[in-house]
Amino acid sequence: MKKNKNNKIIFAVVILCCIGIFLYIPNMHIDKDDITPSQKDKVYVESNEIIQFSNNLLNDSEKAVFSFYSFYLDSVYLKDSIEDGVYPELTNEGFYQLDRKGYLKFLDESGYFSSQFYENEKSKFDKCDDVLKSISTDEAESFAELQLPDNSCSFVFSNSWIGGQGENLDTVEVLNSSVDEVNGISVVNAVIGFKYDDGYIAYSFPKVILLRETDGWKISKIEVNFDNNGLIPASSY
């Protein structure tokens, strides 16, 4: 009889504990500072004004792209023109040329880029410089007033890593990736947008190519598209 009474008491305690847990869970609040790296892959994290939709990042190359764009949108975009450090400056010879010093410094110090990234960009910059060297500046008081013969220098008028021209972009989501383990190459598709209710509206779709180096995955090329090519962002509206 006593044994049955003890069993009833234990059963009642278990029931009360379960009820307490059930009531507590809906009121749980996860502070962003308490989120571990693994948790950050499963929730969106608000860093200053940047909403980062991570959707279970699957590998280190996806994490590298997610980290880069989170940093870029939070600390560089619309705050620092370092990406456009190739903006033309008037030389002592009387023609405009791209100033690459700040750009190269950022690529080197940020830790996100492979040395191959600049090599992939160099031909584009050289072509623009060749065009600029052939243009008379006699009737132009600034670069914006130059009569450019083609679009060789069009990249200086937009943010070439997201395609923006001053839009209030504040979200990043990694969509998917493919990894060639043998050759150490990864292609990661992401989407940049701006927050809308609990999701976002997509703006551009960067395709990021990365190389695996001794200290991790590094960006070697970024191709920005404005068509999602059939990819449907899980969090977008």
Residue-wise pLDDT tens digits, 27-82: 323 233 332 333 333 233 334 444 445 556 779 999 999 999 999 888 888 776 55
For 107-161, write each residue's pLDDT tens digit.
888 999 999 999 988 999 999 999 998 887 876 778 888 888 888 888 888 788 9
pTM (two decimals): 0.71
33-77+162-237 has CATH 3.10.450 classification: yes
Show me where the domains of the chain are located: 33-77+162-237, 80-158
Q: Which of the residue ranges 15-19, 151-155, 203-207, 226-230 has the most confident prediction, judged by mean pLDDT?
A: 203-207
Quick one: pLDDT at residue 19? 44
Q: CA-CA distances (angstroms) from residue 68 to 7, 52, 111?
A: 57, 11, 9
Q: Does the pLDDT at position 171 exceed 80?
A: yes
Neighbour count for residue 220 (Cβ, 10 Å): 20
For 187-206, write each residue's pLDDT tens digit.
999 999 988 877 788 899 99
Half-sphere exposure of 152 (CA within 13 A, CB side): 21
Per DSSP, the residues of 132-148 read HHTS--TT-SSGGGS--
CA–CA separation, 102 and 80 (whole Å): 11
Burial call 227-236: b when 16+ CB within 10 Å, e when fewer? eeeeeebebb
Quick one: pLDDT at residue 94? 86
Runs of H (alpha helix) within 84-197: 101-110, 115-133
